[in-house]
Structure 1
């Protein structure tokens, strides 16, 4: 059994770093050692930034994005097209599209995908919030920017059914209500691919070549 080479505080830091995506025990040790060596330049500012994130970061009540204010910066940006809504699985997908600068629209974060095997149903996602937004009649097109996975496509089909049923009910009460166009990402997104790992060119092509969801 290997002997300890550092105190419990450092061991705890390494253990926590090892839980981050892309970091294993060895990488976590290297990162921890680098932070400690650069204590004043890195470790102290990082600790302060994490503390501020804990106290100030919150989930946007409108779209589900993560920001220090609610509604978030994106939802309060009047330069965006309020008639175009991009639906994504996670905040990382929203940030990926924003990083690529491919669309100037509002967003809606689902918080995951439908997965019966994992016990994730419609009530576990932000689908009711989406229906509340579409019922107002301000949205003209929804882009289902979900990942090209089985779970992602299952979720897209479910959302489409819900939106179509909602449109029928709204039109029954208000014949002038216009149905929302539903489109999906097209060329450039491979089957099984995830948005956060795609480059900006691929995302741009996927947005520009979107097709009606069927």
Structure 2
């Protein structure tokens, strides 16, 4: 129906999460109407994304440097570590404007049905970060079966090494942190409990 190049663009847009055929087609028509400069800027941004953005060597968050902005910020409490599933969850927690510790990104959750095992997650580096100065590790994982499984696994590994807490269940079971409003998340942080 469309020229191959246009169909190829629709196909590429459909690779994005939540983008179906109609939305991808709408995106393709939008981009087709852009100026050469706008298309060049998008292409350059995508290339730079792959060249410059990497994982923080300490916590696994996204950064363009060796350490992310939270790990290198000396005003943050480096002895409280909030463990999250992915970098997107950090911005949700930061929206509360109440947490002043650092983060640790697991890059997923244990899910044996999908073949995701503990050794495939960023858990070993978390264990290496925890030391006698660590005041608390906060497990801020989705309240799903996978999140609970991962929390229990990490709790067992950190047993006797430091205080480990989990978010209170003010967040509905089965939901995701990135869909949680700041007030609900704040209440969950305030009501966290030791594991």
Fold equivalence (TM over 0.5):
yes
Q: What is the aligned partner in structure 1 of residue 35 from structure 2?
A: 39
- Structure 2 residue runs of 5 or longer lacking an equivalent are none
Q: Is the 8 A contact 2:62 2:87 kept in 1?
A: yes
Q: Relative to total residues, which structure has the larger helix share, 1 or 2?
A: 1
Separation in 1, partners of 2:38, 2:186: 35
The number of aligned residues is 195
- 2:185 counterpart SS class: helix
Q: Is 1:208 matched up with 2:190?
A: yes
TM normalised by structure 2 equals: 0.94
Q: Is 1:120 matched up with 2:142?
A: no
Name the CA shift for 1:68/1:193 in 2 (closer, same or farther; >3 Å). Answer: same
- Aligned 1:23-102 pairs, distance under 5 A: 23-40=19-36, 42-102=38-98
Q: What is the aligned partner in structure 1 of residue 142 from structure 2?
A: 147
Q: Is 1:190 matched up with 2:186?
A: no
Separation in 2, partners of 1:201, 1:44: 40
- Structure 1 residue runs of 5 or longer lacking an equivalent are 168-178
Higher radius of gyration, 1 or 2: 1
Q: Tell me the C-alpha RMSD between the 2 structures.
A: 1.5
Separation in 2, partners of 1:41, 1:97: 36
Q: Is the 8 A contact 2:143 2:169 kept in 1?
A: no
- 1:100 counterpart SS class: coil
- 1:46 counterpart SS class: helix
Separation in 2, partners of 1:41, 1:103: 40
Name the CA shift for 1:160/1:41 in 2 (closer, same or farther; >3 Å). Answer: same
Q: Is the 8 A contact 2:82 2:101 kept in 1?
A: yes
